[in-house]
Each structure stands twice: as C-alpha cells, then as structure tokens.
Copies of this chain bind each other. A is one copy, B any other.
Amino acid sequence: MINPFFTNKGPFKILEIFNLLSIPFSPNHSNFDINDIKDLNTSDDKCITFFHSKKYKSLANKTKAACCITLDKLKEELPKSCIPLVVKDVLISTAKVTEKFYPNSIYDNFDSSVVEINKKKFEFEVNFGCNVLVGENVKIGKNCFIGHNTIIEKNVIIGDNCSIGSNTIIRNTIIKNNVSILDNCIIGKKGFGFFPNEVSNFKYPHIGMVIVNDFAEIGCASTIDRGSMSNTVIGKNTYLDNQIHIAHNVQIGDNTIIAGQVGIAGSTKIGSNVKIGGQAGISGHLNIGNNVEIGGGSGVIRDLPDNSKVMGYPAKKFRNFLKDSR
C-alpha cells in the first residue's frame, strides 16, 4: 500500500550523504543522485540501504543498492556494485539519513494545513460535529460520522460507513470501511523510538503509517502509534476496548478481541481470533499465534504458538497458573 504521508525530499547527491555522516568522499566515486533510503531487499540502484548485523548477510550479498551504511567488519559482504559507507553506529547513521530524506517524520508538530470541515468538499456528504478540523488532501468515504473537536490531519484516508468519535486525533493513518474509532483516541503519532544521547536523545524517524482494516473498533482514549519503517496494522473486525496502547510496528490479525488497558510493545505480531484480557501487557518483538487466549493482567514475555491459553506474569499455561495460585 502506498504511503501518502511522508514526502521524500530527495534525490540527494551521494557527496551530501558522505558529508552528513562525516565520511571522506573518495575521488574515485562519481557524485551521483540517491533517490531514497530502503532496506537491503527493496533497494534499487538509486537507493541507499543499511546493513548492521550478520543475520542479514544473505540479503546483503545480493542487494541492488547503490550504497550501504555498514560496519567495517561487514563491508566485504556487499556486492562490488554497492559502495560501503563505513560508520561506527549503523542505526544512528541510518536514522540521520532517513531524517534527511523524510524530515517530517521526526517531530509530530500539529498539522497547520487543517481548516474547519465545512470549508472542505468531499466526494460524499459527511456527517460532522462542531469544530471538526481536516487537513489538506484528506479523503472521507460515504455515510461517515466525525465527532466534535476531532482532528483529521493531512492525507488521511477514511473509507465508507465509518464513525469517528469526538476529541480524536488521526494522522498518518488509512482507515478502511465500517470502522469505529471512539472518543479521545490518538492514532498515528510517532512511536517511542530514539537513541539515548547525553544532552538530547536522537529521535528515530517514523515513516510508517497505521492501517485500520474493515469493521475494526478502537475504544476511547486509546493510542496507536505509526510504524518506523513498516506499518502498524489493526486487522479486520478486531475490537479494542478503552485505554489501550499499541506501539509502533505492531501487527494485529483479524477477529481479535482486546480488553481495556492492554499494552502491546513495539514490533510484536498478534494473530487472528486472539483474546486478550484487561490490563495484559505484551513485550516487544514477539510472535503471538492464532486463536491464543491471554488472561487479564498477564505479562507475556515469550512467543506463543497457535491455540495457547496463558495467564500470569510472566504468562504460563492457564492450567499451571491456576494450580500455582491455589
């Protein structure tokens, strides 16, 4: 799906990027254009990419990228067509280059393009409350409701038959059809990603978006952060209760039910038909299978295969939780 939210400020001459990373530019190189930053896999010969761990060696071996931010010890894995930019910290350098291409992805200042919705024209008639603010290029489908004081920032796309509550803020998000988003939600802000740094942390660019699929419902006062490189996804007919926090890059399957005050940390994948009880917390970078049941208050710190039933902190098999807690 095309991401309409972050404008690529490129191309940039490769010399500019060497300078940005304080790497001396060899006179052997011609000073050609770099169009974009992408991962090892999707880069073409006009792209810069990054390679920070041996895990990705096989991808690095065949990348088509024009150049690659990497470590001295990894640079030999790159094909000859790919110019290495050797740095000490690949991820921070990658963040700097990403910020150069997508400067709007770092800060979440308010959208100054918004105007009152009654000054906008949409293809279909929209039912809207008082003081609704809408940014430029927002698309809203037919038979939608937008509550009072709600802010829909630029380029957001909302499908048909959606109901958005009051006091809700939506940015960098694509909402499909028949979706309900209740009051006081904040959907699509940057994730909690940065590199610690003494005086001022280095904020990581977030060029992903949030996708909320058909028939999903998001409860009041919930926050769903957009992805950093990939997207944050809420599956079809998945229901979230109030005060839920979904961190960046989380992907949730279809027909999943999540009760109040649950938190899901960054980059975790949740399957379909999953049930999560109130106040449960799920650590980052986990894989939770399909048809999993997680009891209220659980703290999940390990992957869970399909059909697991767990409860506890740390979460264990439901049967063992009951036995141990007698």
Expressed in whole angstroms, the Cα–Cα distance for A198 and B201 within the complex equals: 45
Is A205 located at the chain interface by the 8 A CB criterion? no
Expressed in whole angstroms, the Cα–Cα distance for A165 and B192 within the complex equals: 15
Is A176 located at the chain interface by the 8 A CB criterion? no
Q: Is the CB of B299 within 8 A of A281?
A: no
Nearest CB of chain B from residue A181's CB, rounded to whole Å: 11
Is A56 located at the chain interface by the 8 A CB criterion? no
Q: Is the CB of B148 within 8 A of A133?
A: yes
> Interface SS of chain A: helix, strand, loop or mixed?
loop
Q: Is the CB of B239 within 8 A of A260?
A: no
Known: A220-B189, A261-B245, A261-B261. A110 touches B165 (CB 8 A): yes
Is A313 located at the chain interface by the 8 A CB criterion? yes
Q: What residues of chain A have their CB less than 8 Å away from a CB belonging to chain B? A: 107-112, 114, 116, 127, 129-131, 133, 145-149, 151, 163, 165-167, 169, 178, 180, 182-184, 186, 189, 192, 194, 196-201, 215, 217, 219-221, 223, 225, 237, 239, 241-243, 245, 247, 255, 257, 259-261, 263, 265, 278-279, 281, 283, 296-297, 299, 301, 312-314, 316, 325
Q: List 27 A-B contacts (CB under 8 A).
A: A107-B163, A109-B145, A109-B147, A109-B163, A110-B147, A110-B165, A111-B129, A129-B133, A166-B169, A169-B183, A183-B189, A186-B220, A192-B219, A194-B239, A197-B237, A220-B223, A223-B243, A223-B260, A241-B247, A242-B245, A243-B243, A259-B265, A279-B279, A279-B281, A283-B296, A314-B325, A316-B325
